[in-house]
Amino acid sequence: MIEIPVYAFTGFLDSGKTKFIQETLEDERFNAGERTLLLVFEEGEEEFDFSTYPHKNVVLEVLDQETVTTKDLKALAKKHKPERIVVELNGMQLVGDLYSRFPEEWVIAQEVMFADSTTIMAYNANMRNLVMDKLTGAQMVVFNRLEKDQDVMPFHKLARAASRQIDILYDYTDGSTQFDDIIDPLPFDINAPVIKVEDDDFALWFRDVTEEPAKYDGKTVEFKAQVAMLRRDKNGMFAPGRFIMTCCVDDIQFCGLPCKWKASKELKPRSWVMVRAKISSEKHHLYQGDLGPVLTAISVEAAAPAVQEVCTF
């Protein structure tokens, strides 16, 4: 199977996606003649000008993101035989829903979100699930139409609420740009003999340890969690974790970590425990072949429930 790289650009209407794609396809460093299928799922005021491209290698298809099928996309790939695909997504649709309909050989090479600084906070207040949907999967977010010397902290916090790894670029109205260099101190000391995670900080710690498991390799942690059992690891393992809400009630899910504990059979599901454990970065089926945090419990003791059963970032 020959993989086809997909460059995806997300964001809401008039956030600057079309302008960026236009300028990118005009740049010979990106557009060196590869056959490119440009899929547009949202039509704004700006239009693509193919006459400025250095090569006659780009073909445009305008589609409905809500109704397009895998069969439709395969037919387009067969028709145009692209070497790569550039996608402008509809901001009012979920990114993952479209990705699930991509043909198997379509592989996301890069995903960038564009956000109009004058409207993104309103979108976040009224449609936070759609904002987080785009921020969570993107490698970079570009906050544009910023005035020079404007306070960027609200935008920084918005991006970091979704991911600690996403790159943040500020694009100013005077034409200058600047990468975000704000350092966020973690609310727990990862260099302490025992990393003590407070109840309110579990969501942040869970995201950090799963995004960068190697950083925690060999360290000891202590946290309060609920007991969950693993279907495939019934002997000597369980999964202490918490219910986490990223943006809204609809996305609440239980987030646990595989933990080795010889007395796991004696634990009652959904009961609260205080866990002290060693962390190792290793492969586990929960991580689908990737490295992730695996705990080896030192102690597991009954504990009072957290004040808030569902934790947030």
pLDDT tens digits, one per residue of 161-175:
888 789 999 999 999
Tell me the average pLDDT across 266-295.
Answer: 94
Tell me the average pLDDT across 38-47.
Answer: 86
Lowest mean pLDDT among 97-101, 159-163, 230-234: 230-234
Residue 45 pLDDT exceeds 80: no
Cβ pair 114, 88 in contact under 8 A:
no
Whole-number pLDDT of residue 250: 67
* Helices and strands, number each (H, E), in the chain: 8, 17
What residue has token string 């491209």? Answer: 53
Beta strands in the chain (DSSP E): 4-11, 36-40, 58-62, 84-88, 106-116, 140-146, 167-172, 177-179, 195-196, 220-226, 237-238, 241-245, 253-256, 259-260, 272-283, 291-302, 310-312
Phi/psi at 299 (5° precision): -150, 145
Whole-number pLDDT of residue 43: 77
Residue 302 pLDDT exceeds 80: yes
Residue 248 pLDDT exceeds 70: no
Tell me the average pLDDT across 17-45.
Answer: 92
Buried-state track 267-289, b at ≥16 Cβ within 10 A, e below 16: beeeebbebbbbbbbeebebeee
Tell me the average pLDDT across 305-310.
Answer: 92
Residue 208 pLDDT exceeds 80: yes
Share of the chain above pLDDT 70, in %: 98
Cβ-proximal residues to 70 (8 Å cutoff; 6+ apart), any chain: 101, 102, 103
Residue 31 pLDDT exceeds 70: yes
Cβ pair 115, 108 in contact under 8 A:
no
pLDDT band for position 185 (50/70/90)?
Answer: confident
pLDDT band for position 8 (50/70/90)?
Answer: very high
Partners of residue 88 on adjacent β-strands: 9, 40
Residue 183 pLDDT exceeds 90: no
pLDDT band for position 46 (50/70/90)?
Answer: confident
DSSP secondary structure letter of residue 135: H
Task: Return d(Cα 63, Cα 83) in angstroms, integer.
Answer: 19
Whole-number pLDDT of residue 249: 65
Whole-number pLDDT of residue 289: 82
Whole-number pLDDT of residue 247: 62
Tell me the average pLDDT across 141-164.
Answer: 93
Q: Is this prediction's pTM over 0.85?
A: no
Tell me the average pLDDT across 27-43.
Answer: 93
